[in-house]
Structure 1
């Protein structure tokens, strides 16, 4: 549970867990927290040793690498390794997530990666490295003499984001859409009205999604949800008498055609990011299918803005059009029995890939000749080969060696040609089947091609495995330390806050806190009066709630007080306080070289003990509704207008 479910070591001290284990087996004695930590460390060491043994068995490996900064501006580097096991299964292992103290130059990156490869004993086995298009990442691969493959998901993100930014009218629609979504995400009344209208119209109760500037797929999700919920959204805004501008029917037509153009890119990104099997061999056929779908859907577009977007998306060709000339990707595609030579859009590139595959197969045959192959002997009368052996051997040695080498080369090339032709004429594997299973079953029929398949099919198409390490590893949240220190000062008890995925803070009251910021979230959920758990999750709204006695009553109702809270877009969201929460909270935290604002609801007891810890500074509490002012001029003006309107209507 500690490893798989990321539970804290203190779970063995929890009364509920101890009672649960005792109920299962009264004779079992739970280990202490210290003993459990030792057990986990031993398990890690044994698992690492086993993984290293598995890597030693692997003939070829590929790496993915990525870098990121924590909220404390600490640099980290993550490297993952991908290989094919002797059982013909794709395997992935995290080589390391390390603090990166040096400047992010190619030389320093090369040194860090070299250290990891040496530690795991795979230096001579690495075939390629997949990273984003950062120049330091590309140069570090070159310094390591490794083949560099650009992350396909990163390329798609750049292509689509640039195309959206270049289409003026779609940009205007995105701005209007963000304001509409912001209204329903910042107002409880608006959100409730939307739910009501969804029920009346018979639409599913779905939340609208706000766009994240750096991720084009969030733009797709925002527009898609808004289009699907256009009727209840329009009805809700109309009934609210809001001044938020509605999208027109022609704008919805543009959204519909734009979504149709972007749908193939969305599917491609999702498919490759979730791929658990062979993926690099998909790049060439996937690029061709994207091209085909883009031309097809652009031809069906009637709105000028959608046609412009389709033209801008043709940037796909400039970024990915050279895939067929990339030898490693071409050979990976050719060695995938689902695609072979049919996947190539240019037949000449397919034939070139077949030629390279034959040459590499022949080279492998020459370096590893079959043991049963008969040795060549010079022709001629037997008497000649035995007469004056010493002088004859010296005289004809050079000639005999050249003839022997010519014969061996001819045989290897001929045998390689036969093996490659036989494979290419073999039946295609269904697209949804596992190509590694195909090669495992035909290892005896195509022995040399099987070795090359393990070499080229272990390459991933994206660096997503390394990128996702940044979400779960080495995240030191400054706000969690402020929470722990505040509770310790209030209740005079020890509270821990460490940079781990889950941790415990023992307190007398229970506290419910949800804090959103990039790149991680802290939540403290009071499940029992004496235990709080700090849990790092994905970003969502910032909500700070001190529940004390309220935790015993999960159905506690709002107390009428409201405070501002923050999400990734603004600090003008309205949060309804409940129970003993009679204060609004505001603090600032240093993140990414900028000050990040944190807001929410708290009780007087927490405010009386506020303190500054680490990067969280300027902690302040105030009384009154919405007293922890919003930073968004637009939203503040909206609330002011609502207040004036209410005053006019009531007086």
Structure 2
């Protein structure tokens, strides 16, 4: 069965024009290192393609050290074994120093994992804020009072029943679990009344007593951290794209232009957390985001992906030079692709081919993507492969309205609309 599946995947990869890679390494409970490599590419009938994900390797990393040289050699061998070395266009990695150095020394473009980066941003913000670190320590002790005492746990359950609250257990913060601090705080807030009732019992002594300022700080901290959790969950989906990841960074908190940080000001000025001690937390989160995503518009991969996303196009950009640089690259690639494909235009049309980028519910839509669908699905005697033709088509596309995002999440706590 393995040989059959292996051959099927290899044939799929052979038909793919481009392949993107995600890779990660972890250590098992048995203290053994494993490395996973997953390929992402388009497959299916010609011009009726779908995104495909195939896990290529989950194998022990036999080298003694996780050096950049060893990691690079491992990846190159995987790509060679699967015959995709010339097809890999980008590799998503975490922010570890070794894997970062390994890919920096390779010919492949490396993109840092947004979900991992967001967690580092959260860690920066939490660890730099004294009030938050104090609150987290107190909350951990409070949770421990129920986790490590059968008597307290039973009493909490009784109070939950009395107050008609969900009979949920307390959640302890775990350093290795993403968003665990948020989950712990959110659960404590949910059970606030039950905890207060338990603490009022004369025969019960909890490790700590939460005062009103603690509860207020906890509430505002959860409101801020939930923004990052929403973004983390969205970018962790297999369907998430580079353009969505890049623009979530902007909509979360900041603009990446060289001028003033418009979104920063929205976050800071429109916040309503006076007395909560969290103004510094928000500033630290924003500073960390800017540090980890400096001048993101200058990255042509992000810029081109954003422009080619019908839900964004050039709208999020602050820097017009970045737009022009991305347009030049897109036009060059359009010309190259058109010239490459021009020899196969006399093939029969593909029946029932669909475009996932059509304006939903608008049968009269005649935009760029509708044009491409017609263009690809019928015989064409002569194709204009000139740069001017591609430029005109790109300008026509950019002049059309952007498609409405799937959902829009409103976070009243900071007065900022965040697109997901």
1:412 to 381, 386, 393: 386
Instruction: Give the Cα–Cα distance (whole angstroms) in 2 for the partners of residues 207 and 346 of structure 1.
Output: 49
Deviation at 1:369, TM superposition (A): 5.3
Distance 1:70 1:258 in 2: 33
Match of 1:106 in 2: 68
Root-mean-square deviation (CA, aligned residues, Å) is: 2.2
- Residue 154 of structure 1 corresponds to 116
Q: Which residue of 2 aligns with 1:565?
A: none
Q: Which runs of 4+ in 1 moved over 3 A?
A: 292-298, 345-348, 363-372
1:310 has 2:268 as partner: no
Distance across 2 between alignment mates of 1:309 and 1:122: 44
TM alignment of 1:207-356, pairs within 5 A: 207-215=169-177, 217-239=179-201, 240-273=203-236, 275-291=237-253, 295-298=265-268, 299-303=271-275, 305-314=277-286, 315-356=288-329
Instruction: State the TM-score, normalizing by the size of structure 2.
Output: 0.79
Name 1:190's counterpart in structure 2.
152
Task: Identify unmatched segments of 5+ residues in structure 1.
Answer: 1-41, 373-409, 434-651
Distance 2:337 2:178 in 1: 44
Give me the whole-angstrom Cα distance separating, in 2, the residues matched to 1:297 and 1:193.
41
Equivalent residue for 2:12? 54
The Cα of 1:284 is off from its aligned counterpart by 2.3
**CA–CA separation in structure 2 for the residues paired with 1:144 and 1:286:** 28
Pairwise mapping of residues 356-367 of structure 1 onto structure 2 (< 5 A)? 356-365=329-338
Q: Which residue of 2 aligns with 1:133?
A: 95
C-alpha spacing 1:216/1:54, structure 2 compared with 1 (3 Å): closer
Do 2:253 and 2:267's aligned partners in 1 also have CA atoms closer than 8 Å? Answer: no
Give SS of 2:95's match.
coil
Q: Is the 8 A contact 1:195 1:205 kept in 2?
A: yes
The one-character-per-residue Cα deviations of 1:25-66 (angstroms, maximum 9, x if unpaired) are: xxxxxxxxxxxxxxxxx2x32222111111111110011111
The answer to whether 1:91 aligns with 2:52 is yes
User: How far apart are 1:320 and its partner, in Å?
Assistant: 1.7
Indicate the SS of the match to 1:311: helix
Q: TM-score, normalised by structure 1?
A: 0.52
Deviations 1:366-399 (A, max 9, x none): 5555689xxxxxxxxxxxxxxxxxxxxxxxxxxx
Structure with more of its chain in strand, by fraction: 1
Query: Residue 343 of structure 1: SS of its match in structure 2?
Result: coil
Q: Distance in 2 between matches of 1:269 and 1:422?
A: 34
**Counterpart in the other structure of 1:621:** none
The answer to whether the Cα contact below 8 Å between 1:62 and 1:83 also exists between their aligned partners in 2 is yes
Shift in CA distance, 216/309, structure 1 to aligned 2, threshold 3 Å: farther
Once the two structures are superposed, residues 305-340 of structure 1 have per-residue CA deviations (whole angstroms, 9 ceiling, x without a partner) of 211111111111121233221111111111111211
Q: Would the aligned equivalents of 1:197 and 1:235 in 2 still touch at CA under 8 Å?
A: yes
- The one-character-per-residue Cα deviations of 1:568-600 (angstroms, maximum 9, x if unpaired) are xxxxxxxxxxxxxxxxxxxxxxxxxxxxxxxxx
State whether residues 363 and 412 of structure 1, in contact with CA within 8 Å, keep that contact through their aligned partners in structure 2. no
Q: Deviations over 1:122-178 (max 9, x none)?
A: 111000111111222122223331001011111111111111111111111111100
Counterpart in 2 of 1:77? 35
Name the CA shift for 1:210/1:371 in 2 (closer, same or farther; >3 Å): closer
Task: Give per-residue Cα distances to partners, 1:57-108, cap 9 Å, x unaligned.
Answer: 1110011111122233222211111111134211111111121121211111
Say whether the 8 Å CA contact 2:19–2:40 is kept in structure 1: yes
Task: Indicate how the Cα distance of structure 1 residues 192 and 182 shifts in structure 2: closer, same or farther if over 3 A, else same.
Answer: same
Q: Would you say the 8 A contact 2:338–2:385 is kept in 1?
A: no
Whether contact under 8 Å (2:235, 2:245) holds in the other structure is no
Match of 1:68 among 1, 5, 26: 26
Q: Secondary structure at the match of 1:422?
A: helix
Q: Over alpha carbons, which structure has the higher Rg?
A: 1
Aligned position for 2:354? none
* Correspondence 1:431-446 to 2 at 5 A: 431-432=405-406
Distance between the aligned counterparts of 1:88 and 1:424, measured in 2?
23
SS in 2 for 1:336: coil
Q: Classify 1:222/1:150 alpha carbon distance in 2 versus 1 (closer, same or farther; 3 Å).
A: same
How far apart in 2 are the matches of 1:238 and 1:174? Answer: 22
User: Would you say how many aligned residue pairs link Structure 1 and Structure 2?
Assistant: 353
- d(CA) in 2 for partners of 1:142 and 1:317? 21
